[in-house]
Structure 1
Amino acid sequence: MAITPDEKDWTWVLERPCPECGFEAGSVTPATAASSLPSLLARWRSVLRRPEVAERPSEERWSSLEYGCHVRDVFEVFNQRLSLMLEEDNPLFDNWDQDQTALDRDYARQDPAEVTVELLAAGSEIADGFAAVRPEQWQRRGQRSNGSAFTVQTLSGYFLHDIVHHLHDVDG
């Protein structure tokens, strides 16, 4: 059963702490995003090893496996966006329909062991990407098709909030 799509614009988390998970994205830099990821990846590994990983807590909420698949894909999408921002001047990001991706990739039926391997690899790759960003590159810009503009620094906070928030969603 499909989940109702989340159509909120979450960019507000760059201006104030998230009332759900408590994360303060506005204080994140590429360096802190990179250094935070190893412990977050360990927590995701633990979540994906749970016996009930594929069970939805309710019809309206993804399972931990589905959230893990989403986070794996977040790593890949944001790694692409980070690379674009470092290589091009003010790139326009391709649209990403995360809900359609969940359906197309059939998140609910993926193998948790394979998802774990892919999530850890993609998470390590983006951690390396953020670690390689030099401070003089933090203000490089990019934007989504809806007009939301990011710098490399704000992208790092927006990205890291997503990872932390979804750990909160799965009690990880």
Structure 2
Amino acid sequence: MSLEPDTKDWTWVLRERCPECGLAAGEVAPAEIGLLVRASLPRWTAALARPDASVRRSPQRWSDLEYACHARDVFRVFDERLAQMLATDGAAFANWDQDATALEQDYAGQDPRAVATELTEAGERVAARFDAVTEADHARRGIRSNGSEFTVVTLGQYFWHDVHHHLRDVGA
């Protein structure tokens, strides 16, 4: 069963505290991103180890497994986007339809153990890339397909909000 696509523009979390998860993403320091990602990995793994990880608790929400698949793919997409920004100031990002990806990749049917491994690998990779960011890189820009513009700093903050928010969704 598919959910209603999320069509909200979440970039507002860079200016305001998220009322759902409580994070003030705009206050997250760039140097913290890698540490925060690494600290999240055992929490994701624990959520995936639950016997009911593949069960949707509500028809309007993904299961823990589906959220973890999404987080894994967020790690991958943002690792690629950060690499693009570091290589090319003003990099244009390809569109990523997270809802289409969830269906195409059959998030609900994936093996939680395999997802835990893949999520950890992708998390370590994106954490290392954020760790390597220097202050001279902070103002480099990237542009999403809908026209939203990010700096390396705001990309990291936006990225971390997504991960943090979904940890709340799975109660981890």
- The TM-score bracket by the shorter chain reads over 0.9
Aligned partners of 1:29 and 1:154 also within 8 Å: no
Percent identity between the two aligned chains: 54
What is the Cα deviation at residue 121 of structure 1?
A: 0.3
SS of equivalent to 1:150: strand
Match of 1:3? 3
Which digits, 9 at most, give the CA deviation of each residue in 1:130-162, with x for residues without a partner? 000011101100011111000000000000000
CA distance in 2, matches of 1:89, 1:111: 38
Q: Which runs of 5+ in 2 are unaligned?
A: none
Report the count of equivalent residues.
Answer: 172
Letter in 2 for 1:143: I
Corresponding residue for residue 17 of structure 1? 17
1:122 corresponds in structure 2 to 122
- The answer for the alignment partner of 1:36 in structure 2 is 36
Q: Is the 8 A contact 1:67 1:166 kept in 2?
A: yes
The aligned amino acid for 1:94 is A
3-state secondary structure, aligned to 1:146: coil
Q: Which aligned pairs between 1:124-143 and structure 2 lie closer than 5 A?
A: 124-143=124-143
Q: Which is further off, 33-42 or 122-131? A: 33-42
CA distance in 1, matches of 2:81, 2:115: 22
* Cα deviations by residue, 1:111-135 (Å, 9 ceiling, x for unpaired): 0000000000000000000000011
SS in 2 for 1:127: helix
Residue type of the alignment partner of 1:26: G
Task: Check conservation: 1:56, 1:62, Cα contact below 8 A.
Answer: yes
Cα drift, residue 29 of structure 1: 2.9
Q: How far apart in 1 are the matches of 2:29 and 2:5?
A: 29
Runs of 4+ in 1 over 3 A off after TM superposition: none
Aligned counterparts of 1:144 and 1:39: Cα–Cα separation in 2: 27
Quick one: distance in 1 between partners of 2:45 and 2:16? Answer: 29
Paired residues for 1:49-88 under 5 Å: 49-88=49-88
Are 1:98 and 2:98 matched, yes or no? yes
Which ranges in structure 1 are unaligned for 5 or more consecutive residues? none
- Give secondary structure in 1 for the equivalent of 2:142: strand
Q: State the match for 1:159 in structure 2.
A: 159
CA drift at 1:30: 2.6
Q: CA deviation at 1:84?
A: 0.2
TM-score by length of 1: 0.98
